[in-house]
Amino acid sequence: MKKLKNKIAFVLLFILVSAMSQAKGLDPRFQILPLPQNIEILKGQGIAGSELAYIVSKGESKIPGLGTLLDALPRIEKQGTGITLSLSEQNTPESPEGYTLEITSRGVTIQSRGQAGLFYGCQTLEQLMEDSRDLRIPIPCLRMTDYPEISYRAVHFDTKHHLDRTEYYYRMPSFGKWKTSCAIPAVPKWAPPTPSANKRCRLSVAMPKNVILKSVP
């Protein structure tokens, strides 16, 4: 009975996410989690994720930690369709974790008031690229605005009841992908996280000041 309830809950969640995507005009086959605050579909044929040829930063912005697909792109402007990151206070959310993402046939532009926002914008783009690759469909031309409604978005995971090495959990790359700002690993006092593991965990959420690392007996 419990398994049946879990399956029903999963189906209802999938339907809800699909309905929200349709309501915002985005093809429901693109599953962005969490769903951005606003998505405006623009005219144009769109681009496939595989068409993106490079990623560069402009001005004082820096290229943040990237997912697998974006990390494989050259960090130098070249011929082809590229991705441009920049810091700007014009037409961007007030939150430094917010961002705007615009995709046209000419390329991709991600803007934010802070580096954290650029990171989260890249994570959203990574999800779009993954769906484009897996479903073999182009990413539509769109303008997306997103920002967190709450600043503390934590994930807690238990390491002390599993046999995996502690550092395995710190290498998990998915924390920032879903806009998490805090990771709380429960590690036994006899196996505190090492400095190198701490560093990887902090990089995975791209929010060094907000990451909480603590040992739970």
CA distances from 107 to 88, 112, 199 (A): 18, 17, 33
Helix (H) or strand (E) holding 158: strand 154-158
Domains contained in the chain, CATH given: 25-146 (3.30.379.10), 154-215 (no CATH)
Q: Mean pLDDT, the chain, as a whole number?
A: 78
**Residue scoring higher pLDDT (96 or 213):** 96
Residue 141 is which amino acid?
A: C
Residue 115 tokens read as 């580096």
Query: At 43, is the pLDDT very low, low, confident or very high (cuts 50, 70, 90)?
Result: very high
Please give the distance of CA 138 from its chain centroid, rounded to a whole number.
19
pLDDT band at 23 (very low <50, low <70, confident <90, very high): very low
d(CA 197, CA 202): 9
Count of C-beta atoms within a 10 Å radius of residue 90:
7
pLDDT band at 96 (very low <50, low <70, confident <90, very high): very high
Lowest average pLDDT, out of 43-47, 107-111, 114-118, 198-202, goes to 198-202
